[in-house]
Amino acid sequence: MRIHHNIIFIVNKKGRAKMKIVFRWFGEKDDHIPLDYIRQIPGIYGIVTSLYDIPVGEIWPLEDIKQLKRTISEYKLSMEVIESVNVHEDIKLGLPTRDKYIKNYKETIKNLSDVGVKVICYNFMPIFDWVRTELDKPLDDGSKTMFYEHSKLQKISPKELINNILGKSKGFSLPGWEPERLKELEELFKAYEDIDELKLFNNLVYFLEQIIPTCKEYDIKMAIHPDDPPWSLFGLPRIITSKENIMRMLKAVDSEYNGLALCTGSLGVKTDNDIPEMIRTFGGMGRIHFAHVRNLKIIGDKTFYETSHRTEDGSLDMFEIMKALHDIDFKGYIRPDHGRMIWGEKGRPGYGLYDRALGTTYLIGLWEAITKMKELNK
Ligand code: DNO
């Protein structure tokens, strides 16, 4: 009877856990992991993906979106989260041409709503997206992982960083490191010379003020991804790095459609970011629409590597993170995030199958345990 009761507690009418577990996939052409494998991971609800060959700023054609959805649906997986619809640099820079790109962004929102997309993940980081100094650092157990060392970054130029990273990508495209985005590096750095944090923030607010009414009309929630890592790189401003500036951004356009993709790994490398507390605050406001959950080990000042998802392996307490999500009754989308390369897998750095699948089952295990402990303690 008790077991029966607990099952009712954790699943909704359609028999799914309340949080929806999704898995990032890079499309048939560019992902070494078949959808058929992903659907075999216990508890997977859907796929998080993107149209990778549409240049940033252009409208995503409805037919291409439908095709992508058909491919994913064949495996009985949902496609309700897009990561990412990237924001054109002219919008971040606040150039007069931004209005054209914002108009296009709205068209893309409409087209995505047509196939049932519910959340768009995006970021507002100048030039670079996520940054690491090494993609395949060997760990003691023989696995390989991504590593960041700020002192090393300070000694190299942006160009050297790009060569190091793209040279190690094993032929896979890396999200945020699209060559066309990086080819005009010098001009871009010049354009950002007089953009400080406040100007960048104002440009973000301008963008949101324009698009949020469209999101509301088409029922698509925006989820901004925090800056990874959450500090300035090469003198470029970064503005989604802490509880205070995330709150400022949410308040500036105060709509549930203006939300957050809470990424534990991005925010968690700064020790004064209390992730469970952020989850309670922003989740309590109904503004976390998507969560990326992973662990990492801080080994020095602005120096860290990515670990397995397990609490003992890293610096973040995964139980506390999942408990905070549970306490706010999180019903949004959650995905395991970067994993190490294990068992000889050759794949896109951070996005192998095996370690992310292990991460998924670990998160599900924590969720189930928290649910049942709460029931027992009632
Ligand atoms: C890296 C990812 C990011 C993320 C974007 C969202 O692995 O977490 O590239 O997808 O910042 O726009």
Question: Helices 98-114 and 197-218, interaxial angle, to 10°?
Answer: 30
The answer to whether the CB of 299 falls within 8 A of the CB of 279 is no
Helix (H, G, I), strand (E, B) or coil at 104: helix
Task: Please name which of 207, 142, 169 lies closest in space to residue 26, comparing C-alpha atoms.
Answer: 169
Distance, in Å, from the CA atom of 160 to the CA atom of 347, rounded to the nearest integer, reads: 23
Separation of 129 CA from ligand 1 center, angstroms?
Answer: 7
* Ligand 1 atom at minimal distance to the Cα of residue 123: 12
pLDDT per residue rounded down to tens, the chain (378 residues): 343 333 333 444 444 458 899 999 999 999 999 999 999 999 999 999 999 999 999 999 999 999 999 999 999 999 999 999 999 999 999 999 999 999 999 999 999 999 999 999 999 999 999 999 999 999 999 999 999 999 999 999 998 999 888 888 888 888 878 777 777 888 999 999 999 999 999 999 999 999 999 999 999 999 999 999 999 999 999 999 999 999 999 999 999 999 999 999 999 999 999 999 999 999 999 999 999 999 999 999 999 999 999 999 999 999 999 999 999 999 999 999 999 999 999 999 999 999 999 999 999 999 999 999 999 998
Two tokens, residue 42: 């216990």
* Contacts for 225 with CB less than 8 Å, ≥ 6 apart: 83, 84, 121, 122, 123, 240, 261, 263, 266, 292
Q: For the chain, how many structural domains are there in total?
A: 1
* Contacts for 219 with CB less than 8 Å, ≥ 6 apart: 113, 118
Testing ligand 1's pocket by substitution, the residue of 51, 119, 129, 337 carrying the most ligand atoms inside 8 A of its CB is: 129
Using CB atoms within 10 A of its CB, is residue 77 exposed (0-12), middle (13-18) or buried (19+)? buried
Testing ligand 1's pocket by substitution, the residue of 108, 124, 130 carrying the most ligand atoms inside 8 A of its CB is: 130
CB atoms within 10 A of CB 28: 11
> Does ligand 1 have an atom closer than 6 angstroms to the CB of 295?
no
Q: Which residue CA neighbors atom 1 of ligand 1 most closely? A: 130
Intra-chain end-to-end CA distance of the chain, in Å: 15
Whichever domain contains 225, its CATH number is 3.20.20.150
Q: Which residue CA neighbors atom 3 of ligand 1 most closely? A: 130
* Ligand 1 atom at minimal distance to the Cα of residue 266: 8
> Does ligand 1 have an atom closer than 6 angstroms to the CB of 121?
yes
Print the domain residue range for 154.
2-376
Alpha helices (H) in 115-157, listed in sequence order: 150-153
> Does ligand 1 have an atom closer than 6 angstroms to the CB of 225?
yes
> Does ligand 1 have an atom closer than 6 angstroms to the CB of 230?
no
Distance, in Å, from the CA atom of 287 to the CA atom of 279, rounded to the nearest integer, reads: 9
> Does ligand 1 have an atom closer than 6 angstroms to the CB of 332?
no
